[in-house]
Amino acid sequence: MIRIIFLTLLFTNLINACSLCAVYSPRTDVSIHIKADKEEIKTAKVTWTFAAAFSDELLKLYDLNLDETFDEKELTMIEDALLAYIETKNFLTFISYDKDIQKESRKVDVTNYKFSFDGKSLSFDYEIRLNYKIIDKNKLHIRIHDDGAYFLILFDKNKQFFNIPYKVKKEYKPNNITYTIDAPSLANSNIITKDENVKSIEEPTLEEKLTVEEKKKELTFLEKYTKEIKRYLIEIEKGEDKLALVFLLFASFIYGVIHALGPGHGKALAFSYFSAQKSSFIQAFSISLATAFVHIIGAFILVVVSVFVLQSVLNSFIEDSISYLTSLCAVLIMILSLYILYKKLKKKSCDCCKRKKQDLFFVLTAGLIPCPGTVLLFVYAFILETYLSVLLASIAISLGMGIVIFASSFLGLSLNKVSAKSHKLINFLEIVAPIFMFILGVFLLFGSTI
């Protein structure tokens, strides 16, 4: 039983690893500082603090001078990408000010905004002009929520401040805050009273006073190659190194090999497919290369749609698309395996035309899930405007991946040819291989839905 559980976890990891992407739903902690005088609620300063892991991913993407931090130009690029996503969505901010919480939000009047980086996490500040007349028993309700499910927004309970000279009742929830104002006599309200739940804007919390030093995590071998590829692209864009393109293609090829050697990427599927099929090594090589190129083409299409249709790479489109494509591939793999098993059990031979269609079906199912590393590479292309270099680098990555996939295909095909000498063994193999393919499809489907 323990062995079965272990294998289940192992295959789930192997199959789903390729769908991991650098772009994901980041946790975003929100603090709000509201200022008011005796007559009006003046402004609300909102601060989004992004998770350190998300900031690290953006650093890999936007650190154009490779100095391990963000300069003003790089912060502006991130700001533009974020604004393209949130400006048309009322800055994802819902505001109600009335006796009861309204269904429709007031239009937010943002006066200024700014991105900043403290060496660990990115923050985005924006100030909302309110100018709401203070009315007794009115509720000021602020909610920040992303319907697109890109940002996981959570209000920091200890960083919600309302600086107002009246008593208020605060109701806190993970993604919203509601203040009920108690000001029965505004004319005689010269004495400032304060509810224990309301903190002055100047009052720092213990959490704010503490600073924590975090060690920078060691880059993996694959991440180092990603950084090298980006460095060469920057040198090509600046025209600083005549040999930069040569080094870029070499680094991209090695990246493709190392990337494909990792979990997933169709190796187990290719092995089982060619174990069950009578084929030639030339066919196996061409199918392996085609699978790798489809892998790259999928990444290119996602980034192009994200940039030109959605006008931003900061959205959930890429993440959602990878999840849906993974599920689709899983179902197609299961159908293909059942078809191969059906042919074997019915002892039906496959003519040349049907075999080509079957091979094409395999290429699409094994290669349709986009490569996350190449997603990042195509994003670099649009940021640095090094389109030809990225195209050549993508081809080099495909060749590197194709060789590794072919190695798996070669092993599967060799096993098929060796087994052909024994009638019983080849029958057993041609039945077990599609069953194994079906199991891989099940794990892929399971992994894409968790």
Q: Are 171 and 239 found together in one domain?
A: no
Which of 209, 232, 252 terminates a domain? The answer is: 209
Range of the domain at 347: 224-448
Note whether 401 and 299 are same-domain residues. yes
Same domain, 408 and 435: yes
- Which pLDDT score is estimated for 10? 31
Q: Is residue 214 part of a domain?
A: no
Which alpha helices (H) appear in 277-371, and where do they start and end?
A: 281-304, 317-345, 352-367
Residues 6 or more apart from 271 whose CB is under 8 A from it? 408, 409, 411, 412
Residues 256 and 126 in one domain: no
Q: Do residues 36 and 94 both lie within one domain? A: yes
Q: Same structural domain for residues 41 and 183? A: yes
- Note whether residue 21 is domain-resident: no
Residue that is last in its domain, among 184, 209, 234: 209
Same domain, 193 and 255: no
For residues 405 and 268, membership in a common domain is answered with: yes
Residue 274 in contact with residue 416, Cβ under 8 Å? yes
Reduced 3-state DSSP string for 97-117: EECCCCCCCCCCCEEEEEEEE
Question: In a 10 Å sphere around its CB, with 0-12 CB exposed, 13-18 middle and 19+ buried, how is residue 4 labelled?
Answer: exposed
Q: Where are the alpha helices (DSSP H) in 368-421?
A: 372-384, 387-419
Structural domains of the chain, count: 2
Give the end of a domain, one of 180, 209, 238: 209
Same domain flag for 248 and 378: yes
Q: How far is CA 322 from CA 305, 318, 371, in A?
A: 13, 6, 9
Q: What is the pLDDT of residue 257?
A: 86
In a domain, 14, yes or no: no
Report strand pairing: 122-133 vs 40-50. antiparallel
> Rounded to the nearest 5 degrees, what angle is found at the Cα of 10, between the Cα atoms of 7 and 13?
150
Instruction: Name which of 262, 265, 279 is nearest 433 in CA terms.
Output: 279
In this structure, the number of other CB atoms found within 10 A of the CB of residue 309 comes to 9
Q: Report yes or no on 17 lying in a domain.
A: no
**Same domain, yes or no: 264 and 342:** yes
What pLDDT score does 199 carry? 40
pLDDT of residue 161: 93
Residue 10 lies in a domain: no
In a domain, 217, yes or no: no
Query: What is the distance of C-alpha 121 from the center of its chain?
Result: 17
Consecutive 10-residue averages of pLDDT for the chain (450 residues):
32 32 65 92 94 80 80 85 83 93 91 89 92 92 84 88 91 91 64 39 39 43 70 75 82 83 69 82 88 82 70 56 73 83 73 73 75 72 79 87 88 84 76 83 72
Write down the pLDDT at residue 215.
37
**272 lies in the same domain as 345:** yes
Closest CA to 219 of 211, 228, 210: 228
Tell me whether residue 16 is in a domain. Answer: no
pLDDT at 21: 34
20 belongs to a structural domain: no
